[in-house]
Amino acid sequence: MSETPSQALQEALAAELRAAQGIADVNVRTWAQRASITHDSIYRILRGRRPVSVVELVLLCQAINDDPLDLISRAARRAGHPLRSSRTIEVVRADRARLALEAAGLHDDPNLAYDKARRALAETGQLLSRQEWQAFLEGTGSATMTAPLGEFLEVPGEYLAGADDSATAKVETELRFARTMRDVGVTRLAARSLDELGSDEIKAVEEAIRKFIDEEEGHHQ
């Protein structure tokens, strides 16, 4: 029985993840710690014993500074199948959902994040099931939930839906900045303070702060 395109892509993803691991020169245990995924799960994914989910793929790539979209493209070429745009947009949405949760300080506690989102949406008469929440995290959520979840996370629904324009680029820059500022103890930012800065300026400040954090962590290891 010949393998399906989906099976071929999953095998290619495992191969590309192994290659990326080699380039990053990181062992599985360290990779697991960085990505917050059990090392047993990573072993199974790398050996092709189970498929990698969109969220896992994003986290694994982020942990070794690889681009998940680039890795998928490489895997698609390896598998000999054209990359489906639907798969690409799922990765974009999952990555943006993760970033929005990180900026809000909710990414590290999935149960708290869901409970807060459920209560917030309930106040507007909307029900958020566990299944719908998981679909949102995977980038496969319904369009009807995008706007209310965007309001909850204080980001435009278009951004979470995967739109690609100058406005969403600015949103992403601001979210990364908010995430970095949260790492140094600043949990609230005045919106006008960001409106006065361009994307390049915000990015430069974020990179400078991130570099400082990395250097400080290095000194204390």
What does the mean pLDDT of the chain come to? Answer: 79
Instruction: Judge whether residue 162 has pLDDT over 80.
Output: yes
- Non-local (6+) Cβ contacts of 147 within 8 A are 157
To the question of pTM greater than 0.75 for the whole model, the response is no
Instruction: Judge whether residue 82 has pLDDT over 60.
Output: no
Task: Write the class of the CATH domain 86-163.
Answer: mainly alpha
pLDDT score recorded for residue 218: 57
Count other C-beta atoms under 10 Å from residue 55's C-beta. 19
Q: Which residue bears the tokens 């982020």?
A: 62
DSSP 52: P
The more confident residue out of 2 and 137 is: 137
**Spatial separation of the C-alpha atoms in residues 157 and 143, rounded to whole Å:** 9
**Spatial separation of the C-alpha atoms in residues 82 and 186, rounded to whole Å:** 44
Instruction: Judge whether residue 132 has pLDDT over 90.
Output: yes
- The residue-averaged pLDDT of 186-208 equals 51
CB 20 within 8 A of CB 71: yes
- The residue-averaged pLDDT of 55-66 equals 87
pLDDT score recorded for residue 191: 39
Instruction: Judge whether residue 194 has pLDDT over 60.
Output: no
pLDDT score recorded for residue 209: 53
Instruction: Output the furthest CA–CA distance in the chain (Å, rounded).
Output: 60
Out of 1.10.260.40, 1.10.357.10, 3.40.190.80, 1.10.3720.10, the CATH code matching 5-83 is 1.10.260.40
The region of weakest confidence among 17-21, 73-77, 82-86 is: 82-86
Candidates 76, 77, 78; CA nearest to 86 is 76
Instruction: Judge whether residue 69 has pLDDT over 60.
Output: yes
Sign of CA dihedral 195, 201, 203, 207: negative
